[in-house]
Amino acid sequence: MSTAKMFPAPKITTHVLQEMKLKKEKIAMLTAYDYSMARILDDAGIDVILVGDSASNVMAGNTTTLPITLDQMIYHATSVKRAVDRALVVVDLPFGTYQGNSKEALQSAIRIMKESGANAIKMEGGEEIIESVNRILSAGIPVMGHLGLTPQSIHKFGTYVVRATKDDEANKLIENAKLLEKAGCFSIVLEKIPAALAEKVANDVKIPIIGIGAGSAVDGQVLVLHDMLGITQDFSPRFLRRYHNLKEEMTGSVQAYIDDVKSKDFPNEREQY
Ligand code: KIV
């Protein structure tokens, strides 16, 4: 058993994240979708684990985040939560479960919290979803916002290029960040926007701003675990730092196993009964 499991550190809560912003201590967040990966992240000391709807791409092989269902998100979140002692676990509300109707949004959020034991939910959008955000917050469920490139709206944008490069979109994003803060969101993810704009938002609001492709002046960073470990390699945006080439290492291990089986080297005498 790891020391982290024997001597559990204080749990990361939304209040701890707020204090980290005040102390200018950066927040480290990564995605996870299953027990084994979540356990590694938690033992390593990650602050926030996002059960992202990027599971739709990474785990299920879809080309967008749109197809993943609420039941599938709950399955991923339950597996992750089982592994985690310390990190705050945030779960994406999937596309189609909150945009249309705030009562349905609340039901979706309640299902995630009740069935998975997660600590918070994340929702994409600003003004257009504020009624749903308000209803969920008033039920005592912590909400993380998500502005800038919002992958659930990919069919509206048409591309994954950097967002809010023009003044009108940048001003709208600032307005939306303030609106989400005023509503009571505990944090906001800013995805793929100019660094100067992200810095302005982080200075203008008191809640922690977590960036992905939003520069270094925000309060924390998030990456998709499979991208930063180099398991998935078909996605290489400029903002992604790869810490490993796990795809290559895993391919080598699988090939070595195949060779050992074919050559009858595996199993040897010590590996049998
Ligand atoms: O689903 C996800 O992984 C996300 C991150 C990219 C922030 O929303």
Same domain? 213 vs 248: no
Same domain? 271 vs 137: no
**Overall average pLDDT of the 208-224 stretch:** 98
In total, how many domains does the chain have?
2
When pLDDT is cut at 50, 70 and 90, the band that residue 234 belongs to is confident
Q: Is 191 a catalytic residue?
A: yes
Tens digits of per-residue pLDDT, 82-130? 999 999 999 999 999 999 899 999 999 999 999 999 999 999 999 999 9
**Candidate of 59, 68, 92 to mutate for ligand 1, largest count of ligand atoms within 8 Å of Cβ:** 92
**Overall average pLDDT of the 181-208 stretch:** 98
Tens digits of per-residue pLDDT, 145-158? 999 999 999 999 99
At residue 65, does pLDDT exceed 60? Answer: yes
**Overall average pLDDT of the 165-184 stretch:** 98
Ligand 1 atom closest to the CA of 224, numbered from 1 = 3
Lining ligand 1 with CB less than 6 A are 31, 50, 52-54, 92, 189, 191, 212, 222, 224
**Candidate of 46, 149, 150, 222 to mutate for ligand 1, largest count of ligand atoms within 8 Å of Cβ:** 222
CA–CA gap between residue 142 and residue 182 (Å, rounded)? 13
- pLDDT mean across residues, the chain: 96
What percentage of residues in the chain have a pLDDT greater than 70?
96
- The amino acid sitting at 81 is K
| Residue burial 35-63, b: 16+ Cβ < 10 Å; e: rest | bebbbebbbeebbbbbbbbbbbbbeeeee
Same domain? 233 vs 223: yes
Domain hosting residue 16, numbered range: 3-242
CA–CA gap between residue 257 and residue 244 (Å, rounded)? 21
Same domain? 235 vs 254: no
Residue of 191, 248, 249, 269 marked active site: 191
Same domain? 258 vs 146: no
Tell me the torsion sign for CA atoms 13, 18, 24, 29: positive
Which two three-digit tokens encode residue 182? 């005023």
Ligand 1 atom closest to the CA of 189, numbered from 1 = 7
Ligand 1 atom closest to the CA of 222, numbered from 1 = 7
Give the CATH number, domain containing residue 54. 3.20.20.60
Same domain? 110 vs 175: yes
Neighbour tally for 197: CB within 10 Å: 22
At residue 6, does pLDDT exceed 60? Answer: no
